[in-house]
Amino acid sequence: MSDRNPVRLAVVGAGPIGRRHLQAIAAEPSCQAVAVVDPASSGVEAANEWSLPHYADLETMLDEVAPEGVINATPNSAHVPLSLACVKRGIPVLVEKPIADRLDPALALADASEAARVPVLVGHHRRHNPIVRKAREIVRSGVLGRLTAVSATWMAHKPDDYFNVAWRREAGGGPILINLIHDIDNLRFIAGDIEAVQGMTSNARRGFAVEDTAALLLRFRDGALGTVMLSDTVTAPWSWELTSGEQTSYIYPKTGQDCYLFAGTEGALAVPSLRLWRYEGAANWQSPLPEVRLPVDEADPIRVQASHFADVIRGRAEPLITARDAARTLEATLAVTRAAAGGGEIVLSG
């Protein structure tokens, strides 16, 4: 493979996120889309829109097109089996989040990737957002002193017609696995691994079989504690989508609020605004606490992720989030439901 030529990528799954990947590839000179795989009519439509060959199944496409990488944007249940099929052929994969809907298949994919030495990059795209990367840099630089307390919020109101899709009313289709997993991964990336989880869930507002609200406590490995409040049935401005202005497969209005707070012994940071507070002298709650807003460049994280995937395929970079790392995010997220079901404090294996 010549570094002067774009890497040849096939996109599997032509739903909203698959189409978003196709947009990002079209804008990224290091990548070239070469096929769309999806048996539904949306697959034919996407292939026609981008003037690409269409395939109804993965294996036929791999035989005929031989892409250098595959983007797996299929429903959650297909993430692991289709990614394993690529790994067995030695083809690097970018698989959408969550890596799986259960921990065992996620770990099986991690084992297969490591054994075959075929990279798997997981699509927790917010790690590629310059805001998140800057927050990680600040927290891990020691500017805040010893990180002690973390607060995160995901609160928004999903419209009623969102739930016309049956699986969104059932277990696994709620905000824990759909939305909270993004925030858990952000918190892990910025603040470090999570050691233990406690949680409560409720479905009292919508009455579906799945949760509409959750509250949880986190203990990070270095001793910091965190709280997270989650609900998809409230009118509120505090979610990553509404606070960051990040555009993925949907467009959200920017509220100008913050959804994460990181507090240490020497300072505090609000995200995504990147407002930083530190005393000019010795810490004293009666002293002025100056605020500084840190600058950060804007970038499309999906496009940055595509460029990173190209570097991974070429052997220039290791995946920013591997299958095993993503499995840790999944484990922490699934632990919320386990804890809420009466498991008390869930200590994670990682």
Does residue 62 belong to any structural domain of this protein? Answer: yes
What span, in angstroms and rounded, lies between the C-alpha atoms of 40 and 214? 34
Residue 107: give its domain's CATH number: 3.40.50.720
Is the pLDDT at 335 greater than 80? The verdict is yes
Q: Are 121 and 309 in contact (CB under 8 A)?
A: yes
**Domain match, 171 and 275 both:** yes
Q: What is the pLDDT of residue 252?
A: 84
**Domain match, 84 and 139 both:** no
**Domain match, 285 and 310 both:** no
Backbone angles phi, psi at 50, to 5 degrees: -100, 10
pTM here is: 0.94
Cis previous bond, 29, omega within 30 = no
Query: Which strands make up the sheet holding 275-277, listed edge to edge?
Result: 291-293, 275-277, 268-271, 260-264, 147-155, 225-231, 213-220, 194-202, 346-347
**Domain match, 219 and 316 both:** no
Is the pLDDT at 2 greater than 60? The verdict is no
Angle in degrees, CA 129, 79, 327, rounded to 5: 65
How large a percentage of the chain has pLDDT more than 70?
A: 98
- Report how many domains make up the chain: 2
**Domain match, 91 and 149 both:** no
Question: What's the pLDDT band for 343 if we cut at 50, 70, 90?
Answer: confident
Mean pLDDT score, 18-35: 97
Give the domain extent around 108: 7-126+302-320
Count Cα atoms within 13 angstroms, Cβ side, for 299: 20
**Domain match, 59 and 147 both:** no
**Domain match, 241 and 253 both:** yes
Give the strand pairing for 93-96 and 120-123: parallel
E strands, 38-186, in order: 54-55, 69-72, 93-96, 120-123, 147-155
**Domain match, 166 and 293 both:** yes
Residue 189: give its domain's CATH number: 3.30.360.10
**Domain match, 67 and 102 both:** yes
Q: What is the pLDDT of residue 3?
A: 67
Is the pLDDT at 8 greater than 80? The verdict is yes
What span, in angstroms and rounded, lies between the C-alpha atoms of 265 and 222? 14
**Domain match, 196 and 174 both:** yes
Question: What's the pLDDT band for 4 if we cut at 50, 70, 90?
Answer: confident
Does residue 104 belong to any structural domain of this protein? Answer: yes
Q: What is the pLDDT of residue 173?
A: 85
pLDDT digits (tens, 9 = 90+) for 207-262: 999 999 999 999 999 999 999 999 999 999 999 999 998 876 667 889 999 999 99
**Domain match, 64 and 212 both:** no
The conformational region for residue 166 under phi > 0 = left, psi -120 to 50 = alpha, else beta, is alpha
pLDDT digits (tens, 9 = 90+) for 139-198: 999 999 999 999 999 999 999 999 998 888 988 889 999 999 999 999 999 999 999 999
Amino acid, single-letter form, for residue 179: N
pLDDT digits (tens, 9 = 90+) for 78-113: 999 999 999 999 999 999 999 999 999 999 999 999
Q: What is the pLDDT of residue 248?
A: 64
Rg (CA), the chain: 21
Q: What is the pLDDT of residue 245?
A: 84
Burial class for 279, CB neighbours closer than 10 Å (0-12, 13-18, 19+): middle
Mean of the per-residue pLDDT values of the chain: 95
**Domain match, 218 and 232 both:** yes
Mean pLDDT score, 115-123: 98
Does residue 240 belong to any structural domain of this protein? Answer: yes
